[in-house]
Structure 1
């Protein structure tokens, strides 16, 4: 592993342990060249996933992009980082175990909505408003009515 501070290619692992959900290995590393310490995470990747977008464009599955979009929906909400990580890990596991290497972006969006619905209703509506491209207040009202809550 290359040191992110000085670029030295010979770093040493000082400590390794599984993350709380055991989905990754957390490693504390030390660079003997600049005496810096840093953390890396190692995750199992079962297969390379490709996301097929609405316009047919294909791109590699980006776990960080998925986590970022969920964090944006949860911004200023009482949602801890571990809950977001659990949703991301669950989605990634489901996609990898589906057996398909090419996954429709719509399927990913639905999995995110499913995860957010159980986590935080405001984050769920925020994500849905972007994902389903709400244009007017009426779109929000109609969507909130499907949740079983009042629209006002």
Structure 2
């Protein structure tokens, strides 16, 4: 990494490559200290999305020494499980669940990766920091229905905890209504 362009990693708190830590509130107010002269302010001169929309790269300039540096700001998306426990969102976990549902189906790994990316983008677009696991399942079901109906039924049977043949019949009827509309 270029020493003249340190990257600050921001999650729940932001951590400077030089060991400084900033709260998200401080970052929002522009109180990111210059890693070179430690001036208490910086000016954003450019912002761009990065990592498929999961983070924002900001080019900053110190008004005191004039040097520029880059911050990478990411929000930690947390999933609240049915048990009440929370864990960080992991796209790989979505892909693994989709892989099980699509096993033996004509669905490529690229399609799964794109779908998982879409699910993450949908969840981030909600603007919430903590998402219920049920919302994750719903965000998976809709695009999966479009991708492969058999995989949709497999995933829905686990996600919705199907307990009877009637549950499957209801889901199949819903699919038939969806495909006719």
Normalised by the length of structure 2, the TM-score is: 0.56
Which residue is equivalent to 1:32? none
Shift of 1:97: 2.8
Which residue is equivalent to 1:124? 152
Which residue is equivalent to 2:100? 72
Pairwise CA RMSD of aligned residues? 2.0
Which residue is equivalent to 1:33? none
Taking structure 1 as reference, are residues 93 and 146 closer, same or farther at Cα in structure 2, changes over 3 Å only? Answer: same
Unaligned runs of 5+ in 1: 1-21, 25-43
Asked whether 1:84 is paired with 2:109, we answer no
Partner of 2:135, secondary structure, is: helix
1:108-123 aligned at under 5 Å gives the runs: 108-123=136-151
Q: Is the 8 A contact 1:67 1:84 kept in 2?
A: yes
Shift of 1:79: 0.5
Asked whether 1:106 is paired with 2:106, we answer no
Cα distance in structure 2, aligned partners of 1:45 and 1:125: 38
Taking structure 1 as reference, are residues 90 and 46 closer, same or farther at Cα in structure 2, changes over 3 Å only? Answer: farther
Q: Is the 8 A contact 2:77 2:130 kept in 1?
A: yes
Which residue is equivalent to 2:57? none
Shift of 1:46: 3.4
1:1-150 aligned at under 5 Å gives the runs: 23=52, 46-148=74-176
User: In terms of Rg, which structure is larger?
Assistant: 2
Unaligned runs of 5+ in 2: 1-50, 54-71
Q: Is the 8 A contact 1:52 1:105 kept in 2?
A: yes
Which residue is equivalent to 1:10? none
The structure 1 segments of at least 4 consecutive aligned residues displaced by more than 6 Å after TM superposition are none
